[in-house]
Amino acid sequence: MPDSKKYILRFAVVCIGCLLLSYGLSQVPSAYLNTTRFWIPTVFFALTTLGINALLTRGDKNSKEFVFKTLAMSMARLLVCLVLVLIYSKVSKGDSLAFACHFMLQYLVFTIFEISFLLKYIKQTN
């Protein structure tokens, strides 16, 4: 990965920012935001973002295969996210709405981070 120190620093800032944002929102006395498991989405998205970026930055970036791999990874990640939220809502019915809200908020943040990283990565290779 080019500029791996810069990537790791930005990634750490995004992870810590998401964790702090979720913690702050979980302290709000609202059925939509109050959950004790606010950290689970951060861990999940941190691991999946690292894995996806590691897989996508290997190999040829100029081929059409890169675009298809990127789309396939994004779709697979979305599917896994939906399954995880569904499983959580079946297991823990009390705060499933709050968990889903935290999960979707972090999904948006990590997806924006991932897409911006990939766009910069493509520009660097061209």
Q: What is the pTM of this model?
A: 0.83
pLDDT digits (tens, 9 = 90+) for 22-72: 999 999 888 788 888 889 999 999 999 988 888 887 766 666 777 788 888
User: Taking a C-beta distance cutoff of 8 angstroms, is the pair 52, 73 a contact?
Assistant: yes
Q: Tokens for 45? A: 């998205």
Q: At CB < 8 A and 24+ separation, what contacts does 67-73 make?
A: 70/118
pLDDT over threshold 80, residue 2: no
Write the CA distances from 100 to 11, 50, 53, 95, integer angstroms.
22, 22, 24, 9
Q: Using one digit for the tens of pLDDT, what is the confidence trace for 11-21?
A: 999 999 999 99
